Amino acid sequence: MKSFGSVVAAAMLFVCTVVVCLVLVMDRDTVEYGFNSVMKSYAASSRPLEPLVEVGSREQLERRDANMTEVGSRGVWPYFGADLPPNRPKLRTCADPVKHFVFIKTHKTGSTTVCALLYRFGVSNGLNFVLPRVPVNVGWPSYLRTGDYIPLKEGIKNFDVLADHTVYHRRIIDNLMPADSAYITQLRHPLHHVKSVFNWYNVPRQLNMDTRGKNPLEEFLKDPLRYELLQKLMSRDKNDKHHPYSFTRNFMSFDLGFPPGLAEDMEAAQAYVERLDREFDLVLILEYLDESLVLLKRTLCWTVLDIVYNIFNESPGYRFNIELTPEMDVNYREWSKVDYLLYEHFNTSLWNRVSELGDDFLQEVAHFVTVKNQVKAFCEDGKKDQLVIPASKWDNDFSVDQKFCRLFKTTRMSFYKYLAPRQVDKELLNNYTSKAGAPGKGDKKKQRKEQKQKSGKMRNIFG
């Protein structure tokens, strides 16, 4: 019996040792990914947009902030753009409408609605977009590389707009976009954000959770680290084991360039948020989207018609019973510290700007809501030829017709299909789209038929 007991004890010790080692290895991999392997990923693709700089010594990584004060880095800065060259101040006032802009589209923050609005503005003004080779993601979840977007046709000098999912790295994007581009992004309260993420990406299924009669997010937040580690251990997809982001932890921060491996380094997180505050002209807040868009209008010298929006990609309902509680907010704040720091900083920043602008701004917001509702009702009705909006103290009078309504209702993907053949040489476009998963060359007759149908639909929308 002693011999049998010894064998069992040895077996249990061996199993425990293996589990502990796996946890340590995964934790080490997470940190190393956030710290080192981003640079290595460039070598696996086409030429990186970032100038090739050897990263290593402290001297090479030291930078100066906006006040020309030296900032020493521990190898963190290059991953969220703190070695920025531009000294352009934030856009606070403008004389003419801004037509060069970058929108860092964050996941599950209502950004698809704003993205469609920006595409509508770009199409209406004849602007050139950075079109992802594979629709929706421009390189995401990696940094932007030359092979991630479709080049412009000969004769078109530069891009005007980048508005799709890409991981923010200012130095890389500055090498692609005009120097006077405005930078915008969007955030959402972290707890509401993770609730949306849980639903949209079916996170409980990924975590092998029993959701019957339970609140899966509440269960997850009781021990999030255990669930994250179990997911990596049990994942059948090798790529999923080493993807550089977490759906449940600092997901918005990842989109904005913060390394996941530094989730507990609040000194780095604070420096990162302060740097973003200097680099972005405006951060929209979903909970206050109307106020955010009026700020956008003022920041970019646009009109009220430019910012009226139709809601896209709204979830019709949640597949899981997730009731949010104060305790869940406390637990998630501890798990996703950087996202909370990020959101609270820019939410405060937004309301500080609103406070500075006073009653006139709040009156303009109320006017915008009225106009938005009038335009939406007109477009949904579809029976009248024209809607006239009288002049206000903030805008000239203007009219809306059914052609605008077609643009108002157009999805981001329809804009993409419309723009691609106009910005790109036909042969090059076919080459890119076929590599991205479009139908192959075998069935040319079917391709021509589908293309005619698509062309007809685009003419109906934009004609």
Tell me if 339 sits within 8 A of 250, measured CB to CB.
yes
With tokens 């409980």, the residue in question is: 204
Tens digit of pLDDT for each residue in 384-412? Answer: 999 999 999 999 999 999 999 999 999 99
- Cβ neighbourhood burial of 329 (10 Å; 0-12, 13-18, 19+): middle
Show the tokens assigned to 187: 């955030």
Tens digit of pLDDT for each residue in 289-324? Answer: 999 999 999 999 999 999 999 999 776 666 777 899
Of 14 and 212, the one with more pLDDT: 212
Among 267, 232, 236, CA closest to 247: 232
Q: What is the pTM of this model?
A: 0.77
Tens digit of pLDDT for each residue in 110-150? Answer: 999 999 999 999 999 999 999 998 878 999 999 999 889 98
φ/ψ of 64, rounded to 5, equals -115, 140
Tens digit of pLDDT for each residue in 361-386? Answer: 999 999 999 999 999 999 999 889 99
Of 7 and 283, the one with more pLDDT: 283
Tell me if 168 sits within 8 A of 253, measured CB to CB.
no
Tens digit of pLDDT for each residue in 222-280? Answer: 999 998 887 777 665 544 545 788 999 999 999 999 999 999 999 999 999 999 999 99
Distances 233 to 22, 207, 245, 296, 457 between C-alpha atoms, Å: 8, 10, 16, 44, 47
- pLDDT confidence of residue 320: 77
**What are residue 64's DSSP bridge partners?**
70
Q: Do the strands 63-64 and 101-104 form a parallel or antiparallel pair, or are they unpaired?
A: unpaired
Show the tokens assigned to 395: 């805008």
List of E strands, 70-122:
70-71, 101-104
Tell which phi-psi region holds residue 345, choosing left (phi > 0), alpha (psi between -120 and 50) or beta: alpha
Q: Which domains does the chain have, with CATH numbers?
A: 73-385 (3.40.50), 425-462 (no CATH)
Tell me if 292 sits within 8 A of 354, measured CB to CB.
no
d(CA 208, CA 260): 23
Show the tokens assigned to 285: 């807040």
Q: Do the strands 182-187 and 63-64 form a parallel or antiparallel pair, or are they unpaired?
A: unpaired
Tell me if 119 sits within 8 A of 415, measured CB to CB.
yes
- Cβ neighbourhood burial of 98 (10 Å; 0-12, 13-18, 19+): middle
Among 406, 430, 405, CA closest to 420: 430
SS3 assignment for 338-382: HHHHHHHHHHHHHHHHHHHHHHHHHHHHHHHHHHHHHHHHHHHHC
